[in-house]
């Protein structure tokens, strides 16, 4: 009798285990795809980044994109950020004025024209659209879960869809399309919490393009289009991208030296 029960148990395990093992493998595959973004074989992960760029915003009923700022971006792992922005939109106040935004994972500070913050607060711990997807990491990101959704054709290239959930932020979900050959994201769709109680969840989609190879061999998208509820609202255009240059922590100190953004 015990022998028959043992055989029956083995048979049941054989029918259940393939699905569970397959799911487990897919989840690990998805995690590896995500964590190897911008890191080709033989290269170190991105520890810091410097890039210049232009930001454009949609204006008017037609939503035409017009230049809004010239920017220099600085990033240092896991979540040090600095953006030096100069407003170039004559319709906006403070034309030509340099504004510096610093985030360190705990707080943020905004400076304008002098060495004292005009605004400070708690770091939202949300990856900014101005830095390539996945580089910033916060404490809550340690609980993220990854699910492989399968391959898909994207502009004559096979990409892989990965779903990301985060129990530490249950209202946030993301699906990212990954070119695993070049190790870059090509698109991501986000769902976040509603802005107001009872409102609809916010939806955002970012599409990366103009992928170029850097001198160290890794690939980087030089353009990002940002859609809110399927309307193109912003664009980022990069140039002069440098990775792992050895940025010093003093660049992200609370009172920066403000210099004109070239």
Residues 6+ apart with CB under 8 A from 230: 203, 205
Whose tokens are 């101005």? That residue is 130
Residues 6+ apart with CB under 8 A from 88: 67, 68, 69, 70, 95, 96
The rounded distance, in Å, linking the Cα atoms of 2 and 225 is: 64
Mean pLDDT of the chain, nearest integer: 84
**Confidence (pTM):** 0.81
Percent above pLDDT 90 for the chain: 58
The rounded distance, in Å, linking the Cα atoms of 118 and 84 is: 15
Whose tokens are 């969840």? That residue is 201
Percent above pLDDT 70 for the chain: 81
Looking at residue 91, its pLDDT comes to: 81
Looking at residue 118, its pLDDT comes to: 79
Secondary structure class of 2 (helix, strand, coil):
helix
The per-residue pLDDT for range 70-101, each reduced to its tens digit, is 999 999 999 999 999 999 988 877 788 888 99
By DSSP bridging, strand 173-179 and strand 219-228 are: unpaired
Indicate if the pLDDT at residue 257 is higher than 70: no
Hey, what domains does the chain have and what are their CATH numbers?
28-252 (2.50.20.10)
The per-residue pLDDT for range 57-70, each reduced to its tens digit, is 998 777 789 999 99
Residues 6+ apart with CB under 8 A from 158: 151, 152
């Amino acid at each position: 009798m015990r022998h028959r029960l043992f055989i029956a148990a083995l048979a049941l395990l054989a029918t259940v285990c393939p699905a569970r093992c397959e799911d487990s493998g897919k989840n690990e595959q998805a995690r590896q795809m995500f964590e190897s973004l911008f890191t080709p074989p033989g290269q170190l992960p991105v520890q810091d980044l410097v890039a210049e760029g232009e930001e454009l915003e949609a204006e008017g009923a037609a939503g035409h994109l017009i230049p809004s700022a010239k920017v220099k971006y600085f990033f240092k792992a896991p979540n040090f950020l600095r953006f030096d922005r100069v407003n170039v939109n004559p319709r906006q106040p403070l034309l030509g004025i340099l504004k510096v935004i610093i985030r360190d994972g705990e707080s943020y500070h905004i400076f304008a024209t002098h060495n004292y913050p005009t605004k400070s607060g708690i770091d939202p711990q949300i990856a900014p659209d101005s830095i390539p997807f996945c580089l910033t990491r916060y404490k809550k990101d340690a609980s993220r879960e990854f699910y492989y959704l399968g391959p898909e054709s994207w502009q004559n290239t096979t990409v892989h869809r990965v779903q990301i959930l985060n129990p530490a932020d249950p209202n946030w979900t993301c699906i990212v399309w990954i070119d695993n050959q070049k190790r870059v994201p090509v698109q991501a769709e986000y769902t976040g919490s509603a802005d107001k109680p009872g409102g609809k969840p916010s939806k955002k989609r970012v599409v990366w393009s103009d992928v170029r190879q850097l001198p160290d061999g890794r690939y980087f998208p030089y353009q990002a289009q940002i859609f809110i509820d399927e309307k193109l609202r912003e664009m980022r255009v990069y140039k002069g991208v440098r990775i792992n240059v050895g940025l010093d922590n003093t660049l992200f100190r609370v009172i920066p030296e403000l210099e004109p953004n070239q």
